[in-house]
Amino acid sequence: MVENKNTVPEEKEVKKLNFLEQIIEEDLKNPIYNNTILTRFPPEPNGYLHIGHAKSICLNFGLAQKYNGLTNLRFDDTNPSKEETEYVESIKEDIHWLGFDWGDREFFASDYFDQLYEWAEKLIRDGYAYVDDQSAEQISKNRMTPQEPGIESPFRNRTPEENLDLFRRMKASEFKEGERVLRAKINMSSPNMHMRDPIMYRIMHVHHHRTGDKWCIYPMYDYAHGQSDYIERISHSICTLEFEVHRPLYDWFLDHVYEEGTVRTKQREFARLNINYTVMSKRKLLELVKDNHVNGWDDPRMPTISGLRRRGYTPASIRLFAEKVGVAKRDNIIDMGLLEYCVREDLNKIAPRVMAVLDPVKIVIDNYPDDKAEEMEVINNPEDETQGSRMLPFSKEIYIERNDFMEDPPKKFFRLAPGREVRLKGAYIIMCNSVVKDDEGHITEIHCTYDEDTRSGGPASNRKVKGTLHWVSAKHAIDAEVRLYDRLFSDENPDGHKDKDYKEFINPDSLQVLTNCKVEPSLKDTKPLTHFQFQRLGYFCTDKDTTAEKPVFNRTVTLRDSWAKKNK
RNA sequence: UGUCCGAUGGUGUAAUUGGCAACACGUCUGAUUCUGGAUCAGAAGAGUCCAGGUUCGAGCCCUGGUCGGACAACCA
């Protein structure tokens, strides 16, 4: 089997398949698949999508792309009491923004209510389903616990005729909510609780966002989901691990409607995404929003798609992240650092560099003419020449970052200090001569001199100095607000504590608003969602709160900072 | 105490399906740099949860444990 070892490989990329790809490739050997697959992304429209959904979206659309197939978007709208059209719009927006398109393959589980109902009648006629008159509490109680068998309902052995009659009357609105349900007749002593005569239909006198008041009985997830998959002829129904226990039930329902010669939908499960220092359940995210711990679903601290977008994440960065985290079946907690790596990776290539000083301190260049002003040509992005250059005004008074100056610096400090020189990026080398302080001892002004020959591109411009600072001309700068974000939780795994509520770990300092920032004039009228690198600081993104009078920027992520790291 | 699933460097994912553990992130060096960024070069770090067994050979197979997760909504 290793015969042609010495034919030697032209180092072709080793394709390592994840377990889903292996299953698919195995399946595809069967001609019934016709060499193609059909996946689906099935959100319930009861909340906003988060990065965990992004993983699933990338997986489902990605797999389909890879194997010559398509992906359906199907809203799992079987519980009208929790679902709203507002959510379906946001979900569609987020998927498109991520870069995926389902064309006209947009469906709703509610599209299939008629078919589902017919199949339910068939199950009743065949003796596989019955109407139960017990209360919710009784049903639940009689299911008992996983280690002891359940108790059969006294209504379990009604005749198909009686069941059919009752079921039709349920549909005809003759009963109140909770009075009756339709149950599958499977096995009350199965060790798998989902097989203990699961409920198929319940009565809900609730208006549905799409079917209006047509129905007062609605199918449960287990019944609706699998059958919807089959109706759409989904080949691979990929979901998260918690549904693994549902699989026998999924298959049981499918057995009762399956037609020979058709593709039989296969459900397979993968481990959901977890990221440290955040939470990833819709319920908890909703709670953070409702209790005002954050400012809405798109708060830049939220792991929602809309939050990440507002924070300044790009679709490509999230897709890269989804690829990097991989897919498997073991529990995982991904390091937030990986997500950050992914944005930096993308933004480094595309974000123009600009000058912004977040915590300004004034520098006066004593030997620079009082009313002189120059325009310095600076490169927009050293990683991408096609982004060209722009002009940046320079004058006698400039601002630099307060922490770029130290009166009494440690040996490895490469920035400005008395008697030291630094380069002002794109301009001159300056030397610090003196410092002016107020009564309290706070530095109010730093006096420097510049060397005219060191202007970028000038005769002495390649003189070596240790540090290069970003800066902004005082009289040309515009004021801006900058919002800095930190992790939302102070604990690595906020909902991993049995005795403590995750909310106890909310980081009180996750948002810091700086209102006294100075940015270069080119940033005057930027549109929300524009990405920049604030030179030496990090990647920033114009916020939707920005106005002509006061631009607002969100910090997406800092630059890697080996200096800060060293000083920890 | 029931059933199902899982266990590989700090984190995540691989290992041609039995051939002496690889990739990415992170970490640490060094080079380079008008961003303490980026880039480039290199290093450290696991012997695969444990114990047996099969085999010339086990991360992959078998047995028994241990630990972790999921499951007892008229939620999805």
Domain ranges of chain A: 19-111+224-279+312-333, 113-220, 359-470
The pairing of strands A199-203 and A38-41 is: unpaired
* Helix intervals (H) in A295-387: 305-311, 315-325, 336-350
Q: Please compute the mean of the pLDDT values over residues A526-544 and round it to a whole number.
A: 98
> CA geometry: angle at A220 spanning A218 and A224, to 5°?
95
Q: Please compute the mean of the pLDDT values over residues A536-549 and round it to a whole number.
A: 97
If phi over 0 gives left and psi between -120 and 50 gives alpha, with beta otherwise, what is residue A299? beta
Q: Is the CATH code 3.20.80.10 the one for domain A359-470? A: no
Average pLDDT, chain A: 95
Whole-angstrom distance, CA of residue A317 vs CA of residue A159: 58
Q: Give one DSSP letter per residue of A383-416, joined into a string.
A: T-GGG-EEEEEEESEEEEEGGGB-SS--TT--SB
- Nearest nt to the A132 alpha carbon by C1': B74
pLDDT of residue A2: 27
pLDDT of residue A503: 94
pLDDT of residue A15: 61
Q: Please compute the mean of the pLDDT values over residues A521-541 and round it to a whole number.
A: 97
* pLDDT beyond 50 at A9: no
What fold, for A19-111+224-279+312-333? Rossmann fold (3.40.50)
User: pLDDT of A412-435, one tens digit each?
Assistant: 899 999 999 999 999 999 999 999
- In this structure, what token pair is assigned to residue A254? 């499918």
CB atoms within 10 A of CB A513: 9
pLDDT of residue A46: 93
* Helix intervals (H) in A68-157: 85-98, 113-125, 136-142
Q: pLDDT band at A11, cuts 50/70/90?
A: very low
Q: pLDDT band at A14, cuts 50/70/90?
A: low
| A431 beta partners | A421, A449
Judge whether A377 and A391 are in contact, CB under 8 Å. Answer: yes
- Nearest nt to the A404 alpha carbon by C1': B36
Hey, what CATH class is A113-220 in?
Answer: alpha beta
| A304 beta partners | A50
pLDDT of residue A312: 98
Q: pLDDT band at A7, cuts 50/70/90?
A: very low
- Nearest nt to the A44 alpha carbon by C1': B76
pLDDT of residue A567: 80
* pLDDT beyond 80 at A230: yes
- In this structure, what token pair is assigned to residue A407? 């009166």
* pLDDT beyond 80 at A232: yes
pLDDT of residue A12: 39
Whole-angstrom distance, CA of residue A429 vs CA of residue A451: 6
- In this structure, what token pair is assigned to residue A523? 């940033």
Q: Please compute the mean of the pLDDT values over residues A243-266 and round it to a whole number.
A: 96
Name the catalytic one among A158, A171, A282, A344.
A282
pLDDT of residue A190: 95
Name the catalytic one among A210, A268, A272, A503.
A272
| A520 CA from B34 C1′ (Å) | 18
| A330 CA from B58 C1′ (Å) | 22
User: pLDDT of A134-156, one tens digit each?
Assistant: 999 999 999 999 989 999 999 99
User: pLDDT of A157-194, one tens digit each?
Assistant: 999 999 999 999 999 999 999 999 999 999 999 999 99
* pLDDT beyond 80 at A368: yes
Give pTM, 2 decimals: 0.95
- Nearest nt to the A135 alpha carbon by C1': B74
pLDDT of residue A10: 33
Are domains A113-220 and A359-470 of this chain identical in fold?
no
| A382 CA from B45 C1′ (Å) | 35
Question: Which positions in strand B are less than 7 Å from the protein's CB atoms?
Answer: 1-8, 10-15, 17, 24-28, 34-38, 68-76
Told to judge if A483 belongs to the known catalytic residues of this protein, a careful annotator would answer: no
| A213 CA from B8 C1′ (Å) | 55
- In this structure, what token pair is assigned to residue A453? 């020959």
What percent of chain A has a predicted confidence (pLDDT) above 70?
A: 97
Q: Please compute the mean of the pLDDT values over residues A543-547 and round it to a whole number.
A: 98
Q: pLDDT band at A460, cuts 50/70/90?
A: confident
Told to judge if A272 belongs to the known catalytic residues of this protein, a careful annotator would answer: yes
| A164 CA from B61 C1′ (Å) | 52
* pLDDT beyond 50 at A4: no
pLDDT of residue A13: 47
Helix (H) or strand (E) holding A479: strand A478-485
Q: Please compute the mean of the pLDDT values over residues A213-235 and round it to a whole number.
A: 98
* pLDDT beyond 90 at A511: yes
pLDDT of residue A215: 98
Told to judge if A44 belongs to the known catalytic residues of this protein, a careful annotator would answer: yes
pLDDT of residue A1: 26
CB atoms within 10 A of CB A70: 15
* pLDDT beyond 60 at A98: yes
Residue at shortest CA–C1' distance from B1: A147
- What ipTM was estimated for this complex? 0.96
- Nearest nt to the A203 alpha carbon by C1': B74
| A71 CA from B4 C1′ (Å) | 29
